[in-house]
């Protein structure tokens, strides 16, 4: 029997504490860092949650490199590879793993069990998906709420990009959902 005991109160507490720890750490280690994007992620498979930071300069460098790769593959007559680097119209990196400060602060969550992982290695990953989607149903509204708190806290505690500071969180389908302001 799969244990899907998700503790929403503990999860919210863990995530709020994580956000505060990340902000405190950034202030102490990089007091002049100007935050362009702040991202909150939970990975229900590994049980790890993290806060990631990126600057505008880092995003611009990254997107410029992507655009160069795109042109390079197009000129080489490789549209398949070029497609991977096709411009999206984004002004920022939308994969937290590519941020300038990825996994800047992270925790091992205790608000949900991981034991459904070990029981059936990969004989049926549907069960794992089921548990994960069960968690997402409960976690998404909490993560959104925490992202809103993160937005306000970062704006008052950190240097943030004046024009386009954004906070994002992940979900079942994607690593990047911008918080609607």
The confidence band for 134, taking pLDDT boundaries of 50, 70 and 90, is confident
Q: Give the pLDDT confidence score for residue 3 in this predicted structure.
A: 55
Q: Give the pLDDT confidence score for residue 122 in this predicted structure.
A: 54
Q: Give the pLDDT confidence score for residue 113 in this predicted structure.
A: 85
Return mean pLDDT, the chain.
91
Judging by DSSP bridges, how do beta strands 159-160 and 177-178 pair with one another? unpaired
Please report whether residue 71 resides in a domain.
no
Per-range mean pLDDT, top range of 67-76, 111-120, 133-142: 67-76
Please report whether residue 79 resides in a domain.
no
Interval 82-102 mean pLDDT: 95
The confidence band for 45, taking pLDDT boundaries of 50, 70 and 90, is confident
Q: Identify whether the C-beta of residue 176 lies closer than 8 Å to the C-beta of residue 95.
A: yes
Interval 63-74 mean pLDDT: 96
Burial class (CB within 10 angstroms; exposed 0-12, middle 13-18, buried 19+) of 170: buried
Please report whether residue 61 resides in a domain.
no
Please report whether residue 21 resides in a domain.
yes
Interval 119-143 mean pLDDT: 74
Interval 6-35 mean pLDDT: 97
Please report whether residue 73 resides in a domain.
no
User: Which positions ≥6 away from 167 have C-beta within 8 Å?
Assistant: 37, 38, 39, 40, 147, 148, 150, 151, 154, 178, 179
Q: What is the dihedral of CA 152, 170, 52, 105, to 10 degrees?
A: 90
The confidence band for 67, taking pLDDT boundaries of 50, 70 and 90, is very high
Which residue range(s) make up the domain with 107? 8-55+93-178
Interval 25-52 mean pLDDT: 96
Please report whether residue 75 resides in a domain.
no
Take residue 134 and report the two structure tokens written for it: 């069960």
Q: Give the pLDDT confidence score for residue 180 in this predicted structure.
A: 84
List the one residue out of 7, 5, 31, 52 whose CA is nearest residue 175: 52
Please report whether residue 113 resides in a domain.
yes
**Edge-to-edge strand ranges of the sheet holding 37-43:** 101-108, 48-54, 37-43, 166-169, 177-178
Query: How many structural domains is the chain composed of?
Result: 1
Take residue 17 and report the two structure tokens written for it: 């504490």
Please report whether residue 47 resides in a domain.
yes
Measured distance CA(19)–CA(51) in Å, rounded: 7
User: Which positions ≥6 away from 80 have C-beta within 8 Å?
Assistant: none
């Amino acid at each position: 029997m799969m244990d899907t005991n998700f503790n929403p109160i503990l999860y919210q507490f863990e995530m709020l504490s994580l956000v505060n720890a990340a902000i405190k750490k950034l202030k102490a280690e990089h007091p002049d860092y100007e935050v362009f994007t702040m991202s909150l992620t939970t990975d229900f498979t590994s049980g790890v949650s993290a806060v990631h930071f990126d600057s505008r300069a880092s995003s611009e460098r990254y997107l410029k490199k992507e655009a160069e790769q795109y042109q390079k593959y197009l000129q080489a007559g490789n549209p398949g590879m070029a497609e991977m680097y096709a411009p999206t119209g984004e002004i920022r990196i939308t994969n937290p793993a590519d941020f300038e400060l990825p996994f800047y602060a992270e925790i091992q969550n205790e608000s949900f069990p991981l034991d459904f992982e070990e029981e059936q290695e990969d004989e049926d990953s549907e069960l794992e998906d089921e548990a994960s989607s069960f968690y997402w149903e409960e976690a998404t509204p909490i993560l959104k709420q925490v992202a809103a708190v993160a937005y306000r806290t970062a704006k008052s505690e950190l240097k943030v990009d004046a024009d386009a500071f954004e906070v994002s969180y992940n979900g079942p389908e994607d690593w990047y959902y911008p918080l609607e302001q």
